[in-house]
Chains A and B, each alone.
Chain A
Amino acid sequence: MCLGIPVKIVEKKGSVGIGEIGGVKREVDLRLVNNVKVGDYVILHAGFAIQVLDEKEAEEMLSLLREVFERL
């Protein structure tokens, strides 16, 4: 029930955004998060963005993993 998916905010009007995933768009309530910009990815749960995805962390984690395994 705590399912959350990363959606890209493609439009924003006040505290309401439009999120897109795989070509599907829907309204996202942005009142639980701060400073969301168009182009950001958020985690969508029950109509709300519950967090802004940290893209730098996401890339770093994957490249770190790949690097470690290449050395093994």
Chain B
Amino acid sequence: MKLGCVIHRYGADVTGGSEAHCRGIAERLAERHDVTVLTSCARDYLTWRNAYPPGETSEGRVRVRRFPVARPRDLRRFRAISLVVFGGRASAADQRRWFEENGPLVPDLVRHLSDHGREFDRILFFSYRYYTSFFGLPTVADRAILVPTAEEDPLIRAPILAPFFSLPRGYLFNTVEEAELIADRMSGRRPPALIVGVGVDPPGQAPDTSPLAEAGVRRPYVLYLGRIEPNKGCDTLLRYFPRHPQPSDRPVTLVMAGPATMPIPAHARIQPLGVVSSKLREALLAHAVALVVPSPYESLSMVLLEAWNHGVPALVNGRCRVLKGQVLRGDGGLYYADRREFSAALGLLMDEPEVARRLGAQGRAYVDREYRWPVVMEKVEAMLCQ
């Protein structure tokens, strides 16, 4: 089959959940099909400034065609239109403008889809919230498979999305909660859908603790891994953790690894590491007491699957339906609704290591059942043939 994958940014040095999701699927599809990724020249997700040269390159078996961003994102204008749209009083024009301001603004990509989209048998669109999907998908709706990576954030309730969600030929969802969320928002036909998720490779040999010692990581620790920003729930985590009553004999440290876009308060038991090497990342994951996922908005959480892959239990924000659903389905951790539950759940994981070990092992078994690449790709192929 001749397949297209449309994504807002793409590259080996691009981090981000939906981008990694697209890359993983595109590379595996390219083993059997002719795959072209259509994307922007941006690398930075805040400004969308052009960083890659426009035009066609090959990355392994995948052909990548990049289109220039017409103008970078103006964060003030984006914020202003967000207030209007999320205030619940926006016109259809305001809502369309939100998608333009969110970007990346790549009109040439949309034109290319309009002119050449029919040359593809199927086109997978990753993440509905970007200009690329919102304006690109309607031009090739009859062959479009949407991988929405939708979260329960205020955007999902924008009225303009109700007809949009009925357009694609089919859907690949990350979780049953995401499927329900989108189904609830559709105003027309319900396209066929499969719940697929992201593939995870089995972990190699368990890394030793030497990278932790080199980085001065204080054990035992709970781990936050990812971008440190309020949208990811880090403001709440940084309020909750310092108020957790620490036992004097075995205090626990919160280790935060990832780029920070918000201040991290100085605290004896909070250890920010910044961006870490892949070696240290693996060691951090393998030796944590638990992974904390405080995000209120997730469509899957790849880092949760990675922690389970290492047999590490999770402590997740129970107000995020996806995270709570994943933890319940996998029996792989605990969840919390507020600071007191956070503290009590963390206390339980610390006080009862055998329970924590079992939860982690169950999480790993869940990943083995649902998230290995052969399982994932079999479902993707089934959707392409529908």
B is a partner of A: no
B residues neighboring A (CB under 8 Å): none
